[in-house]
Amino acid sequence: MPRAPKISPSAASRKPGLPTDLAALRARIAAATLPALPAQRTERARRVLSAWLDSAGADGQDVDTVLRALSSGAAACQIGDALRAQTLENPPEVVRNAACASGCAFCCILTGPDGGTITGAEARALHTALAPFAGQPDGRAWHPKACPALDPETRTCRSYAARPTICRSYLSTDAEACRTNSEGGSVQGGGVLGSHLDYLAVHAMVRAALAGAVKVHSYALRDVAVAAVTGQDARTALEQARHPVRTLGDACTALAGAAKLG
Ligand code: SF4
Ligand code: SF4
């Protein structure tokens, strides 16, 4: 009687529809659409994501490692970081004239609905960085809408090394404009670098490319930070901070229509 072929645990537990190799991933990325963004922005996201995939393949990464990096948002962060670094190599005037300084924290007063859109990789990193501060006074002791990651005395970020892409991308030439906007005003002076839209667009494209195979989420920065400083475990924090599906596309649309720096 012929012996049954051996099936490895990972192969046996592989979900139907999951891409089995990098070529299948490339095909999904080539076919992905982003109705939330203009065609030019969609094609730019496809180009930088495909280049990231080529580089992962050249590094010898297997499909499961690549899928984890894509679905967690680590890939979008790497791409955003690389593009921001490119901008900063030859900084435009707005970057050269930035008024940003340690302890200047009006931009950490989270006036939007949820403090900003972040990926799962960023949410986990932020939670890990803030968990040791659970129960201590946080930024809200300085300002009721401040990010809980903020130190209320020094007004510096207590999760600086783990701060999300949106925090790394925001700058201003006018701290007074930031103060005014933190009080509900709407004056020019601050904004995000263009690379931030690339990061969001890439994460949205990953979601579109992996639809039906792998869930790709986004999260609310403020909710993750609040959960971390109130002592919630990471799993509960991320469950509670997870965005509704449409939020990522809405964030892309809003940012595509806004002025960007650099
Ligand atoms: S973005 Fe505005 S509030 Fe934030 S550090 Fe720069 S100048 Fe200060
Ligand atoms: S994570 Fe840090 S840099 Fe970002 S909003 Fe919060 S305090 Fe500010």
Q: Residue 219 pairs with which residues in a beta bridge?
A: 118, 242
Residue 258 is predicted with a pLDDT of 82
* pLDDT digits 0-9 by tens, 69-103: 999 999 999 999 999 999 999 999 999 999 999 99
Task: Indicate which residue's Cα is closest to atom 4 of ligand 1.
Answer: 107
Q: What is the mean pLDDT of the chain?
A: 93
Per mean pLDDT, which of 16-30, 152-166, 182-196 is the most reliable? 152-166
Residues with Cβ within 8 Å of 106's Cβ and at least 6 positions away in sequence, in order, are 175, 178, 179, 181, 182
SS (H, E, C) the chain: CCCCCCCCHHHHCCCCCCCCCHHHHHHHHHHCCCCCCCHHHHHHHHHHHHHHHHHHHHCCCCHHHHHHHHHHCHHHHHHHHHHHHHHHHCCCHHHHCCCCCCCCCHHHECCCCCCCEECHHHHHHHHHHHHHHCCCCCHHHCCCCECCCECCCCCCECCHHHCCHHHHHEEECCHHHHHHHHCCCCCCCEEEECHHHHHHHHHHHHHHHCCCCCCCCCEEHHHHHHHHHCCCCHHHHHHHHECCCHHHHHHHHHHHCCCCEC
Model confidence at 189, pLDDT cuts 50, 70, 90, reads: confident
Model confidence at 188, pLDDT cuts 50, 70, 90, reads: confident
* pLDDT digits 0-9 by tens, 31-57: 999 999 999 999 999 999 999 999 999
**Whether 154 contacts 255, CB under 8 Å:** no
Distance 259 CA to ligand 2 centre (A): 21
Residue 186 is predicted with a pLDDT of 85
Model confidence at 1, pLDDT cuts 50, 70, 90, reads: very low
Of all atoms in ligand 2, which is nearest to the CA of residue 149? 7
Model confidence at 113, pLDDT cuts 50, 70, 90, reads: confident
Mean pLDDT computed over 200-215: 97
Distance 67 CA to ligand 1 centre (A): 36
Residue 3 is predicted with a pLDDT of 43
Distances (CA, A) of 176 to 14, 68, 99, 179, 181: 54, 42, 10, 5, 9
Model confidence at 11, pLDDT cuts 50, 70, 90, reads: very low
Distance 26 CA to ligand 2 centre (A): 35
